[in-house]
Amino acid sequence: MSFKVLKPGVQATLQAAPRSGTRHLGVPASGPADELSMALANRLVGNPSSACALELSFGLVSLEADADCAIAFTGAPVEIELAGDKVPMHRTLYIHGGETVSVGAAEAGARLYMAVSGGFLADDFLGSASTCLPAMVGGLKGRALRAGDTLSTGESEPSADVETPANMHQAFTHAFALRCVDGPDAELISGWESGQDYAATRRADRTGIEIAGSWPPLSNAGLKPSAPVFPGAVQLTPSGNAFILLPDSQTTGGYPHVLQVTRADRHLLGQIRPGDRVHFLKRTPEEAADDLRRKTAYFRDWLPDLVL
């Protein structure tokens, strides 16, 4: 079956498991900016956690189905209308051929996910279907949706009607606490104390988010020789602000890499919107590994194959 895109939204892309083993070619991992929300959406339609789903920035998408299937929405809270009726997020929904599903605008959180039973079909590039916008590969022709596009779906079994357990819903507010460890250039901010108030600026997309606030001035604002960087890296830029890397980010960089948002909390980065408040909490790498194990264990019964 397939969906016709009536309204494409701000930036909606197809995302699946991240690309691996390609960063030495300059090709980023891509994949969902919020892995947890995408996994929860896929779970509601009987898919594996990283089946190809639609990532919507701020919502505002309308799709028309050409046949019956199961769909589900998770992530930033929005109003959803299915065939003219309001329907909940975090629940299996059944859409019939000819019906339209419309997503409103998110007021907290930045991204939501639509999963379809059988997953969306997408272009493969170097082993992953995830859209990489800078390189224009993966997903649907390597780009965000446009009105008139057709999204095809894979074969599927009928899906059971389920709801995300209440204790697995994320709270969506305008404040984020991000656990982080030292980056390789942490000595440049040795006097820095975590716990201060920072805010996301308007510079935010799938490559990264700019974070303003009182960062220690760098005595030597120069660049270092280009070094490998990964999503979650917090770099200090010549503007005096920090830039946190997201899934479509560059693979090497020369700005001082002073902190790294830990893997356990990286999924939260996908939900930070301009103006949101951000706090950083310091951890050691060993504590961060424990945090990740604890968080994965918390979701294990519901999402046994979750990879954060």
Q: Which is nearer to another protein, 43 or 266 (CB)?
A: 266
Q: Which is nearer to another protein, 39 or 63 (CB)?
A: 39
What's the per-residue H, E or C state across the chain? CEEEEEEECCCEEEECCCCCCCHHHCCCCCCCCCHHHHHHHHHHCCCCCCCCEEEEECECEEEEECCCEEEEEEECCCCEEECCEEECCCECEEECCCCEEEECECCCCCEEEEEECCCECCECECCECCCECCCCECEECCECCCCCCEEEECCCCCCCCCECCHHHCCCCCCEEEEEEEECCCHHHHCCCCCCCCEEEEEEEECCEEEEECCCCCCCCCCCCCCEECCCCEEEECCCCCEEEECCCCCCEECCCEEEEECHHHHHHHHHCCCCCEEEEEECCHHHHHHHHHHHHHHHCCCCCCCCC
Residue ranges in 273-292 that form contacts with another protein under rule CB under 8 A: 283, 285-286, 288-289, 292
Binding span for another protein by CB under 8 A among 61-69, 70-78, 169-177, 250-258 = 250-258
Residue ranges in 5-24 that form contacts with another protein under rule CB under 8 A: 20-24
Q: Which is nearer to another protein, 63 or 242 (CB)?
A: 242
Number of residues that bind another protein (CB under 8 A): 46
Does residue 229 touch another protein according to CB under 8 A?
Answer: yes
Applying CB under 8 A, among 3, 113, 125, 198 the residue interacting with another protein is 125
CB of 108 to another protein, least distance (A): 27
Residue ranges in 129-188 that form contacts with another protein under rule CB under 8 A: 132, 134-137, 142, 181-184
Binding span for another protein by CB under 8 A among 53-61, 74-82, 89-97, 226-234 = 226-234
Applying CB under 8 A, among 240, 293, 298, 304 the residue interacting with another protein is 293
CA atoms 162, 167, 173, 176: torsion sign = negative
Does residue 66 touch another protein according to CB under 8 A?
Answer: no
Report the relative pairing of strands 53-57 and 111-116 from DSSP bridges: antiparallel
CB of 219 to another protein, least distance (A): 19
Q: Which is nearer to another protein, 59 or 142 (CB)?
A: 142
Residue ranges in 24-53 that form contacts with another protein under rule CB under 8 A: 24-27, 29
Question: Which residues would be at the binding site for another protein (CB under 8 A)?
Answer: 20-27, 29, 125, 132, 134-137, 142, 181-184, 223, 225-230, 232-233, 250-253, 257, 260, 262-263, 283, 285-286, 288-289, 292-293, 296, 307
